[in-house]
Amino acid sequence: MRQRPFVILSYCLFMLIILAIPAQANISSLNEQVQEKISRQLAPAGPEGGINICRECVYDRAAVRDFYLSRQYTPAWSMDGQPGQAAADLVRTIRESAAEGLIPDHYHLRGIETMLDGLDADPSAEQLAALDLLLTDAFLVLGSHFANGRINPATIDPEWQIRRHNGNVLQSLRLALANNTIEEELRAMLPSNQIYAGLRQALTRYRELAAKGDWPRVPDGPKLQVGDTSERIIALRRRLAAENENVPTAEQENYFDEKLAAVVRRFQSRHGLDPDAVVGRNTLAALNVPVSERAHQIELNLERWRWLPKDLGNRHIIVNIAAFELILVENNVPVLPMRVVVGKPYRRTPVFSGTLSSLVLNPTWEVPVSIASKDLLPKIKKDSHFLAANGYRLFRGWNSGSSEVDPATVNWHAVRDNTFPFRLRQDPGPLNALGRVKFLFPNPHDVYLHDTPSRSLFRKDMRTFSSGCIRLEKPLELAMQLLRGTPLAERESLDAALATGKTQTIRLTEKVQVHLLYWTAWVTDDGIVHFRHDIYDRDLLLWKAMQQPPPRLIKQVAEL
């Protein structure tokens, strides 16, 4: 009789085990069914094979297939018939991609949320397989866009040739699932520098401003300056205040006082305008750009940062073409800023990175055929002494042994610009277009940094005057910085070398990365947002491309 309770307990445990077996078998069976569904969906279907899930196209079938092949097609995002925490983390990260200037619906957000909402307590294998595939594709595409940018810039602008840093997104997905670090792995792919972080914060602020409605418009009219009285000045004050500019109160709101002038100067400096405190045509145009356009401008420049390599180099040079500015950076600290002149709108400075390894003192200039035939030939025809007066020599060909030609023996009026048969070389001297020094970083565009005798151009706001190369405001200061540790780092020694008139090529002891970039919006260390005019109309092309869904690497021929 004493054993009766024990017998009853044993019997109960036995029955629980018996009853649990079918449930466990059902779970195991469901997982196997999901595995089978995924395997069948990703079976080889030729180069045109694709997957369409609830009207959502799997963008990269090949990468998705590689991922599941490495795990024998077992589901990645569900456990025991229900989506796991990783799925919720991914959905949240996709939603938050809007803060990066991206469009969450480009990463299956709507489809995934619809499928999650449609799951009941007993989902089918078809539902779980479809959800798994869509979540995997979303991670891979979003991760690729975080690491490399949403757009391949070369597809919209052949002059944009930045080296993209393709990360191993598949490996990141495996680590994220194994360690339950979906959000951390994805965010690690984004740029980690302060400018990107500042732009992201600025985007939030400008979107909040846009949500309140556009800021006040300053009516057209004559220029406004200190001492003026006008109802338009009231609108000016309200417009500046709407962007969180610190506009001091005034006894007369319609009066342009010195305190308002200081605010206008700050605004002009942030927009690359002459800070003269006069609200003329250019300042008025910048004031009246809608807040929504400024938010879009920030979105585009977040994208441009994602195109860049994460490591720009401990010592590097950044040229912001749109801002007409060069900055030498050492250990993330700007040490030498300067103004630059960039290419004309029809001879645009390209975007690319290169390695600066040498500079040339007292350089000669081998004039490109396009410049010789289009720019110089009309001047030669107009003035027979033009070549000699400006230090040019004429050669019959481009070989090193080409014979020199006396310009006076040429019938210039018979020379056509489309068949220009000569090579022009400008000797070193005060008139040389390259000035006293040029900086070489080999590239297929034949673009370099150089001095210029045309110093007055640096006083202009819009400095698009070159044929593609970068003219420097402070070339000797840059040379001394790059030659640090050598005798030529001293101004007296450098001046003496230049005074010889002799052409010298000097190798740098430390190579420097040069990045020619195009930013129309950025944030400085003090949190100030700067905007620039889109001088080459590159923003519009990028904006249109960003609104399109990601390219489909396959056609939609399979339906799940």
For tokens 């799940």, the residue is 560
Bridge-based pairing state of the strands 404-405 and 392-395: antiparallel
Bridge-based pairing state of the strands 315-320 and 160-161: unpaired
pLDDT of residue 120: 80
Domain assignment of residue 413, yes or no: yes
CB-CB neighbours of 54 under 10 Å: 17
Both 419 and 509 in one domain: the answer is yes
Report which residue type is found at 526.
D
Both 222 and 131 in one domain: the answer is no
Domain assignment of residue 197, yes or no: no
Domain assignment of residue 321, yes or no: yes
Domain assignment of residue 299, yes or no: no
pLDDT of residue 24: 43
Domain assignment of residue 255, yes or no: yes
Say which of 469, 515, 530, 533 is annotated catalytic. 469
Both 173 and 269 in one domain: the answer is no
pLDDT of residue 560: 37
Q: Which pLDDT tens digit goes with each residue over 288-298? A: 999 999 999 99
Integer angstrom CA distances of residue 21 from 16, 29, 393: 9, 12, 95
- The answer to whether 296 and 446 have CB atoms below 8 angstroms apart is no
Q: Is it the case that residue 55 has pLDDT exceeding 90?
A: no
Say which of 145, 316, 450, 515 is annotated catalytic. 450
- The answer to whether 257 and 224 have CB atoms below 8 angstroms apart is no
Of the pLDDT bands very low, low, confident and very high (cuts 50, 70, 90), residue 47 is: very low
pLDDT of residue 441: 92
Mean pLDDT along residues 221-227 = 97
Q: For the chain, how many residues are written?
A: 560
For tokens 């594709």, the residue is 137
Mean pLDDT along residues 54-67 = 85
User: What are φ and ψ of residue 246, in 5° steps?
Assistant: -80, 90
Both 373 and 488 in one domain: the answer is yes
Long-range contacts of the stretch 483-489 (C-beta < 8 A, 24+):
483/359, 483/508, 485/509
Residue 120 in tokens: 């009941």
CA distance 454 to 466: 11
Both 241 and 352 in one domain: the answer is no
Domain assignment of residue 554, yes or no: no
Bridge partners, residue 41, by sequence:
none
Q: Is it the case that residue 331 has pLDDT exceeding 70?
A: yes
Both 388 and 256 in one domain: the answer is no
Work out the burial of residue 336: count CB atoms within 10 Å of its CB; fewer than 13 is exposed, 13-18 middle, 19 or more buried: middle
Radius of gyration of the chain (CA): 32
Report which residue type is found at 273.
L
Domain assignment of residue 3, yes or no: no
Both 321 and 257 in one domain: the answer is no
Lowest mean pLDDT among 26-35, 58-67, 147-156: 26-35
pLDDT of residue 363: 97
Both 285 and 338 in one domain: the answer is no
Nearest to 156 by CA among 522, 518, 533, 529: 518
Nearest to 342 by CA among 226, 456, 463: 463
- The answer to whether 504 and 361 have CB atoms below 8 angstroms apart is yes
Q: Which pLDDT tens digit goes with each residue over 378-437? A: 999 999 899 999 999 999 988 877 899 999 999 999 999 888 999 999 999 999 999 999
Mean pLDDT along residues 233-247 = 91
Q: Is it the case that residue 556 has pLDDT exceeding 70?
A: no
CB-CB neighbours of 306 under 10 Å: 22
Task: Give me the DSSP letters along 459-516.
Answer: GSS--EEESSSEEESSHHHHHHHHTTTSGGGSHHHHHHHHHT---EEEEEEEEEEEEE
pLDDT of residue 272: 95
Both 472 and 392 in one domain: the answer is yes
User: What are φ and ψ of residue 160, in 5° steps?
Assistant: -105, 105
Q: Is 274 helix (H, G, I), strand (E, B) or coil?
A: coil
pLDDT of residue 12: 45
Q: Which pLDDT tens digit goes with each residue over 434-454? A: 999 999 999 989 999 999 999
Q: Indicate which CATH number applies to the domain containing 231.
A: 1.10.101.10
Both 119 and 39 in one domain: the answer is yes
Please report, in angstroms and rounded to a whole number, the separation of the first and last CA atoms in the chain: 62
User: What are φ and ψ of residue 470, in 5° steps?
Assistant: -105, 115
Instruction: Provide the whole-model pTM.
Output: 0.88
The DSSP 8-state label assigned to residue 361 in this structure reads: E
Q: Is 385 labeled as catalytic in the residue annotation?
A: no
Q: Indicate which CATH number applies to the domain containing 480.
A: 2.40.440.10
Of the pLDDT bands very low, low, confident and very high (cuts 50, 70, 90), residue 167 is: confident
Both 149 and 242 in one domain: the answer is no
Average pLDDT of the chain, as a whole number: 89
Bridge-based pairing state of the strands 333-343 and 464-466: parallel
CB-CB neighbours of 493 under 10 Å: 14
Domain assignment of residue 45, yes or no: yes
Q: Is 54 labeled as catalytic in the residue annotation?
A: no
Q: Which pLDDT tens digit goes with each residue over 112-155? A: 999 999 888 788 899 999 999 999 999 999 999 999 999 988 88
CA distance 70 to 34: 16
Q: Which pLDDT tens digit goes with each residue over 543-555? A: 999 999 887 653 3
Q: Which pLDDT tens digit goes with each residue over 5-31? A: 554 545 444 444 444 444 444 556 888
For 42, the enclosing helix (H) or strand (E) is none
Q: Which of 144, 175, 190 is the last residue before a domain boundary?
A: 190
**What's the structural domain count of the chain?**
3
Q: Is it the case that residue 179 has pLDDT exceeding 90?
A: yes
- The answer to whether 218 and 279 have CB atoms below 8 angstroms apart is yes
Residue 5 in tokens: 């309770």
Nearest to 434 by CA among 464, 381, 391: 391
For tokens 């984004």, the residue is 190
Of the pLDDT bands very low, low, confident and very high (cuts 50, 70, 90), residue 328 is: very high
Residue 522 in tokens: 């950025």
Q: Which domain holds residue 281?
A: 215-289
The percent of residues above 70 in pLDDT, for the chain, comes to: 91
Both 381 and 434 in one domain: the answer is yes
